[in-house]
Amino acid sequence: MTPTMPQRRKLVAALALAGGALLAPMAAQADQFINVLTGGTSGVYYPLGVALGKIYADKIPGTRTQVQSTKASVENLNLLQKGKGEIALALGDSVKSAWEGDAEVGFPAKLDKLRGVAAVYPNVIQIVASQGSGVKTFADLKGKSLSVGAPKSGTEVNARRIFEAMGMSYKDLGKTEYLPFGESVELMKNRQLDATLQSAGLGVASIRDLSSSLPITMVAVAPDVAKKLGAPFVAATIPANTYTGQTADVPTLAVVNFLVTHAGVSDETVYQMTKQMFENLPQMVAAHKAASAISLKTAIDGMPLPLHPGAARYYKEQGILK
């Protein structure tokens, strides 16, 4: 039986209502976007950021993620302040400088929108020289060429502070290069650079690549330098056989990395970002073994800025915060 015109109108109206009912929940679950700010692709931040991005996309309903390669700590923190990212990795001393507004480091004013998420793993200061350079000690770097990391990166900030604590400056070097990890290693392979200072997780891909390509010397930094510098620097060790040809433990320094967000990210989003990271740590460790140091027990240790309420909620649930 063919429907009449009034019946057709009723049918169209009913279908429109049904369609609206179906679309309403979809609209309510409109995608949220999480941009994960990392570092150079040859460092540790990038693979960990990729792992975080995948965890968030898989575990937080209605979420789209992007992983952005950057110049790391200082750039990441400035981007967060401008709302151009939702979560970032950054070195503890850079985070402290950002909260205080240290212009010399790259923060002309206090970055007051930053909020803490978690302490993650320590960045170990790793100074590597080619054996052919003749560099065996920190003092031997005088007159030599050294890459100190990308300009105003967390690594470069670390380098400047260590040089000051050692009673030296970049002026003592024969040449100072401001290059990311991968580019520094390529110059060393081509005998165009004597040494590189890299602040990264142990087993960083760039130094693994270098040590498998030419004989290296790991340059020690004495534990008393950590005392001279104070928090967030601590004494650390690069265990023997971390890299090819490195047959003995090497004393050095470390600085804790933090996950940071900003006040404009919703409490629920930061709660989920914190929760999903801790509940999916095996994926982080699979991306890079540096993540094996991430622990709830140390999640808020040494946090140099206020916790985001969303992260605080998760820690209260876990009994970390009262």
Nearest alpha carbon to residue 167 among 224, 116, 117: 224
Residue 85 domain flag: yes
Residue 23 domain flag: no
Residue 11 domain flag: no
Question: Is 287 found in the same domain as 176?
Answer: no
Mean pLDDT for all residues in the chain: 91
Average confidence (pLDDT) over 173-179: 97
Residue bearing the bigger pLDDT, 28 or 248: 248
Range of the domain at 69: 32-121+257-317
- CATH code for the domain of 245: 3.40.190.10
Residue bearing the bigger pLDDT, 200 or 89: 89
Question: Is 199 found in the same domain as 183?
Answer: yes
The amino acid that residue 35 corresponds to is N
The predicted pLDDT at position 4 comes to: 57
The predicted pLDDT at position 8 comes to: 53
Question: Is 184 found in the same domain as 77?
Answer: no
Residue 71 domain flag: yes
Last residue of some domain: 255, 276, 294? Answer: 255
Question: Is 136 found in the same domain as 219?
Answer: yes
Please tell me whether the overall predicted TM-score, pTM, comes out greater than 0.85 for this model.
no
pLDDT at 30 over 70: no
Residues with Cβ < 8 Å from 119, sequence gap 6 or more? 92, 256, 257, 258, 298, 299, 300, 301, 302, 303
Q: Give strand ranges (E) for 140-215.
A: 145-147, 175-177, 195-200
Residue 270 domain flag: yes
Question: Is 171 found in the same domain as 214?
Answer: yes
- pLDDT 10s digits, 281-313: 999 999 998 999 999 999 999 899 999 999 999
Q: Cα separations (Å) of 101 from 13, 38, 97, 114, 153?
A: 60, 21, 6, 12, 16
Question: Is 233 found in the same domain as 183?
Answer: yes
Residue bearing the bigger pLDDT, 44 or 175: 175
Residue 14 domain flag: no
Residues with Cβ < 8 Å from 18, sequence gap 6 or more? none
- CA–CA gap between residue 164 and residue 279 (Å, rounded): 41
pLDDT at 15 over 50: no
pLDDT at 94 over 60: yes
- pLDDT 10s digits, 50-81: 999 999 999 999 999 999 999 999 999 999 99
Return the top range by mean pLDDT from 143-152, 201-210, 273-282: 273-282
- pLDDT 10s digits, 229-280: 987 888 999 999 999 999 999 999 999 999 999 999 999 999 999 999 999 9
How many percent of the chain have pLDDT more than 70? 91
Last residue of some domain: 211, 230, 255? Answer: 255
The amino acid that residue 297 corresponds to is K
Output the DSSP codes for 71-85: S-HHHHHHHHHTTS-
- CA–CA gap between residue 106 and residue 132 (Å, rounded): 35
The predicted pLDDT at position 259 comes to: 98
The predicted pLDDT at position 20 comes to: 45
- CA–CA gap between residue 34 and residue 49 (Å, rounded): 11
pLDDT at 35 over 90: yes
Question: Is 159 found in the same domain as 61?
Answer: no
Residue 21: which pLDDT band, with cuts at 50, 70 and 90? very low
pLDDT at 43 over 50: yes
Question: Is 64 found in the same domain as 53?
Answer: yes
Q: CA torsion sign, 92 to 93 to 94 to 100?
A: positive
Question: Is 264 found in the same domain as 115?
Answer: yes
Question: Is 231 found in the same domain as 303?
Answer: no
Residue 116 domain flag: yes
> From the CB of residue 223, how many other CB atoms can be counted at a distance below 10 Å?
14
Do 69 and 150 meet the contact criterion of CB atoms below 8 Å apart?
no
The predicted pLDDT at position 152 comes to: 76
Residues with Cβ < 8 Å from 120, sequence gap 6 or more? 48, 89, 256, 257, 258, 259, 291, 293, 294
The predicted pLDDT at position 104 comes to: 87
Structural domain count of the chain = 2
Last residue of some domain: 222, 255, 288? Answer: 255
Question: Is 76 found in the same domain as 47?
Answer: yes
Question: Is 189 found in the same domain as 127?
Answer: yes
Residue 25 domain flag: no
The amino acid that residue 52 corresponds to is L
Do 252 and 199 meet the contact criterion of CB atoms below 8 Å apart?
no
